Amino acid sequence: MSQVKLNEEDIKILAVDDHELILGSTVQVLKQRYPKVEMHTAKTAWEALEKLDKVKPNLFVVDISIPDKEGGSARSDVGINLIKTAMERYPLLPIVVQSADFRPLVKLKFAIHEHGAGFIVAEKKLTTQEMLTRVDWAFNGVTYTPKEMRSGLEIKEDWLKVLDLAFNHGLQDKAIAEQMNIGERTVRRHWSNIQDALGIYDCPEKRVNLRIQTGIRAREEGLID
């Protein structure tokens, strides 16, 4: 792989993590590789969005589980929405996702594939050198995700919306249909497709509640929080 020629004085990096110790460690590692870069940090999604718009970084390093605002709880859906927004607003921005659990990224599988710049998943257990190698890949426009994501579930956007409305917002099919502006029959078809994708099938003799089992499997796969 050829190394992209970078003028360090012109590079701006934004790193996001709500754990101060981890954030400081990330900054230290990046400064080790790129000592002259302009480093910026954020601990919440709101702060990160503000700095993305203001700083216009050349690299975005972000954790999945972060709080929305200061004092809030760290949640994966917040990080996922932040990453999605960053890709939409800045399609040429290289992104490195640092996380101990990358499963929620399956929600962005298609968006990652379409992203016009490097997109790298770097597990937090990586060594310093492995992390720096991932950063180099991102600057070179490489897309790298774990094999579990590459060979994992094929879940459509509408199915994720159904799961979110049902399990995160507690809506029944009629209300889901109204929220999505579709018919209840379409909602039921989405449920059937979701259950097929998750390998959940009706078994009357076991008296299994399919909706409950769907929620359990969807959480196991990182599709809902």
Per-residue pLDDT band for 1 (boundaries 50, 70, 90) equals very low
pTM for the model stands at 0.70
**Among 44, 39, 37, 59, which residue's Cα sits nearest to residue 120?**
59
Q: Is the residue at 141 inside a domain? A: yes
Chain mean pLDDT for the chain:
86
- Look at residue 47 and tell me if it is in a domain: yes
Question: Same structural domain for residues 126 and 45?
Answer: yes
Angle at 47 between CA 59 and CA 78, to 5 degrees: 85
What CATH number corresponds to the domain at position 24? 3.40.50.2300
- Clarify whether residues 88 and 175 are in a common domain: no
* End residue of a domain, out of 150, 168, 203: 150
Same-domain status, 146 and 172? no
**Rounded distance between C-alpha atoms, residue 146 and residue 101, angstroms:** 11
Q: Which two tokens stand for residue 12?
A: 């701006």
With 0-12 / 13-18 / 19 or more C-beta atoms within 10 angstroms meaning exposed / middle / buried, residue 216 is middle
The pLDDT assigned to 203 comes to: 55
Helix (H, G, I), strand (E, B) or coil at 95: strand
Domain shared by 195 and 139, yes or no: no
Domain contains 3: no
CB–CB of 101/55 below 8 Å? Answer: no
Q: Domain of 197?
A: 157-220
* Exposure on the CB side of residue 207, measured as CA atoms within 13 A: 0
Q: How confident is the model at residue 14 (pLDDT cuts 50, 70, 90)?
A: very high
Last residue of a domain, which of 150, 179, 205? 150
Q: Does 172 have pLDDT greater than 60?
A: yes
- Verify that 114 and 92 share a domain, yes or no: yes
**Does residue 225 fall inside a structural domain?**
no
- Boundary (domain end) residue, out of 112, 135, 150: 150
Determine the straight-line distance between the first and last CA of the chain, rounded to whole angstroms.
37
pLDDT-based confidence at 25, cuts 50/70/90?
very high
Predicted local distance difference test score (pLDDT) of residue 48? 97
Backbone angle region of 111, left / alpha / beta, with phi > 0 → left and psi within -120 to 50 → alpha: alpha
- Rounded average pLDDT over 78-96: 95
Task: Tell which residue, 78, 86, 66, 50, has the closest CA to residue 18.
Answer: 66
